[in-house]
Structure 1
């Protein structure tokens, strides 16, 4: 295999192999520390216009491939590409695992890293992905609901799965517990009206009750006053998040899944049903 100038036949075969269907893993042009892969419906090879779902991994990062493949059938039959970013552990060389969950880490703004990826793939595939859906589970659920808070105007849906900690829409507390200092921290003003236009699903298993990884302790990286106030378990914290969003005028579908612990693959069916329903309404105009 070489990177010599390809023939037309080689270009066509390479595009089918690496750029359509389940793709290769690519480095982001804007910041090569970060990577992504996609599922791209074959119809895109014939210049079809499709929607975009961004599916964000959890702390282990391994789920990015599970999500790409797990949503591939959904993407094929619902005309929807799937972008799976990879935010590796220790992007700043320090071994930190959780920076992407809170959107800012040193010089990195993970929300902007994602928007750069979306712009890159939209240009590559000649698509209008000015608005997309976001799904995340566990650590990805952290990212998904904070992306909705910071950039509601960029989303046509948000599915938020089992985040360990939540940002409530509390104007009396600073980030990440509340939203009082969004302008100073991120250069954005919380837009409740824009968020209210985004269909939101929140889901967690009713047996997802372990707390060892989600209880913040004084002196830990993300400790701040109020860090544990939303509840003790993931279901309690997600209920608090749903209540906070609803109080701001957001329509929230809250799914407490019976008999499921912290298992991302057991909730994907519900996510697909939600997103398929939103797509139907979106395409009606």
Structure 2
């Protein structure tokens, strides 16, 4: 499915109308206490992401918030900025939290919030989890192009050295250890050229390939890094899938549904290794 702008039911963020989101209320809108936040990839296919989540969730009483981070802001290119949390003066984590607050005004407070990101959105989701996991009940990272390893000897963003100076936030690994984390990637997601971000390019780094040369390799490396840091990470390769939003999103919906059904066992059940 191709991306469209504005997505269906798009609304501008009151706190900063340069940004916007889609809020898909739960079937039982007045009683819903579960929010799923879905972060788009570089293609910004918000409609496709919401449609696949709704298909996966069925008639479950779940609300969905899907931010839309624009390609251009004030006539400047910001297509990749959201992936790195803070870019060109924009704090995308704070922007997301403003969106959550506006959704709560529409439907009431949520007891649980699960974060899912695909592709470029998975980069945002992982990095948001590194700093803001206290706000989450679970995290799904699906097919990230670049990853941040739990390594204080590597510069931000391949690692955590200098992360606080760059993001104005302190990594909160203790909170991340308290929630289940699922890493997913297509078993055929092996393209090497599309994930390169060398030094000298926007958001580039000399260490951009330290986790591997494809999304598949980087997902495995991220999983090992999380497990070594005591984070309850699972890793799943989706058979016969390359880099495809719909099957990844259906699998994410299934994983989140399992966590909702068994919240007391979600952390221990997610440590299945590679």
- Whether TM-score is above 0.5 comes out as yes
Q: Residue in 2 aligned with 1:115? A: 97
- Map 1:38-187; keep pairs closer than 5 Å: 38-44=23-29, 47-61=30-44, 63-75=45-57, 77-128=59-110, 131-187=112-168
Give the conservation status (yes or no) of the 8 Å contact 2:23–2:103.
no
CA, structure 1 residues 50+74, in 2 after alignment: closer, same or farther (shift >3 Å)?
A: farther
Give the conservation status (yes or no) of the 8 Å contact 2:56–2:254.
no
Task: Please tell me whether residue 30 in structure 1 is matched to residue 12 in structure 2.
Answer: no
Q: Tell me the SS of whatever aligns to 1:207.
A: coil
Runs of 5+ consecutive residues of structure 1 not aligned to the other structure: 1-21
Task: Name the Cα RMSD after superposition.
Answer: 2.0
Runs of 4 or more consecutive aligned structure 1 residues displaced over 6 Å after TM superposition: none
TM-score by length of structure 2 reads 0.89
Shift of 1:189: 2.1
Which protein, 1 or 2, shows the higher relative CO under an 8 Å CA cutoff with sep ≥ 6?
2
Give the conservation status (yes or no) of the 8 Å contact 2:49–2:245.
no
Q: Residue in 2 aligned with 1:9? A: none
Runs of 5+ consecutive residues of structure 2 not aligned to the other structure: 1-6, 267-274
Give the conservation status (yes or no) of the 8 Å contact 2:27–2:62.
no
Which structure is larger by alpha-carbon Rg, 1 or 2?
1
Shift of 1:54: 0.5
Distance 1:233 1:186 in 2: 26
Task: Please tell me whether residue 237 in structure 1 is matched to residue 218 in structure 2.
Answer: yes
